[in-house]
Chain A
Amino acid sequence: MLKVENLEIAYGDLQVVWGASFEVPENSIVAILGPNGAGKTTTLRALMGLLPILSGSASFKGDSIAGVATYALVERGLVMIPEERSTFASLTVEDNLELGAYTRRARPYLEETLREVLGIFPRLAERLGQLAGTLSGGERQMLAIGKALMARPDLLILDEPSMGLAPIIVENTFNVIRDIRERGLSVLMVEQHVEMTLEVVDHAYILELGHIVAEGTSIELATDRRVREAYLSL
């Protein structure tokens, strides 16, 4: 579904990603793992058109996404939830969710999708009239994911979904991600918590200082000695 080859990204004058290649097959969960500052978020932002791509190719559902405007990518079914969550604090939960279906792709199915999303996150249904800025961290996470789902994405990108959240909420989130894949979507995750992530994903890449240094299925990586020593608590 998403195919990236030899991506080179610069942040201002500084190059931060070199020759990155990865792929998210249909209906799978893929993760890009790595420590802070590895370039994971930068890569995602470049994919979504928020940063320029120096060279290399990236295609979504067969069509190139280089230079495409961010909102147009959402229109095609590529949706990202950034690290700081993408909810609008000054709007109500309901307005946030409705805005999620802003694209022409999603708008006709607004009612139907809303019912689905509220089914996944019943807590949001209780808080529809509340301003999103008053939600707790976990609730905002739910809203962010729910809002992203409202856009009826084919591929959902999550930037560090576990960041700043209590373990039980993280577990819940990861369950939701599994559920999302069951519904036919593909997921690309970027994470720092290798152990937890490997339990959820099918395939993962490890990004260090702008280079992909390892890849494999979760079992392959979990049994790889270097990976275990560097990232797992073993």
Chain B
Amino acid sequence: MWLSILGVAVALGVVTDDQRIMTIAIQTYILAALASSWNILGGFAGQISLGHAAFFGLGALVTREMWLGGQPFPLSTLAAMVVTAVVAAIVGVPMLRFRDAYFSIGTLALGVAVFLTIGNVRPGISSLPVDALREYEFTGPYFLALGVMAFTVPVSMWLKQGKLGLGMMAVRDDEEVAGASGVSPLRHKLMAFVISAALAALAGSVFAYFSISYYPSFPFSVVWTFEAILVVFIGGIGTTVGPLIGSAFFIVGRYALASNTEEFQVVLFGLLFIIVVLLLPGGLVEGWQRIFGGSASDVVTRAMETKTGETKGKELV
């Protein structure tokens, strides 16, 4: 099932020329990648970061400055990821000592502080140079964004099933017990923090590649953090597919509201976010589980099995 969706997306990239569709699709992929990265820290390790945009923005910033400064794009991306990972490691050590709400507040403070500072330090708009503008076409960014998003899925899956991911989830569920059983909370939280930051930077670098002109502080804006969290909550926090489902829902929603202004959309999604937090902390995936039973990975497995003709003796409904 997953591969067929991917196939459709690839086909779309080849077939369509419509700038608007491409733009929306690219934005979806970037958001999905960002959301997946947040999910690693928030869903697997249970640390709710409200300042995630700081790493997205940092990735975008380093990439953009290096790339427009003449460096090849892949190198810029790599540098961005490394720089961001290092920064995350440095900042993460004090931050992760705080628990729960204090961590969230700390990351919020980080996010806002960085956003405002970049706004002070780099007030001028960043635009692609004229010749790049002339040559600009969507295919490149499209497949890059798609590739990055596709990349985050196996990374998430690998993490979730691997020892590291299990350790993170153990810490998430009960930090004291995990520590007592020999699973170092700080180490696992820090790994989650750094990995999620690096992946956010990757998404940010795609943003830098794709965007024609923007204020350097824009990718640091709290709106990105918000959308990532919203999307993860809608799709189902802690699952592998959740961020993707949520992004799809989000984008379909945006399309449906395309006639209304951007602000109206934000208001609507903000309200949706609040409702989801209040009513359904598990997101759409939990809702699915409640109605149909079974875990999220069950759902995907079953879907794949149905497709290939095997049954497990269980009905989907």
Touch between chains A and B, by CB atoms below 8 Å: no
Chain A contact residues, CB within 8 Å of chain B:
none
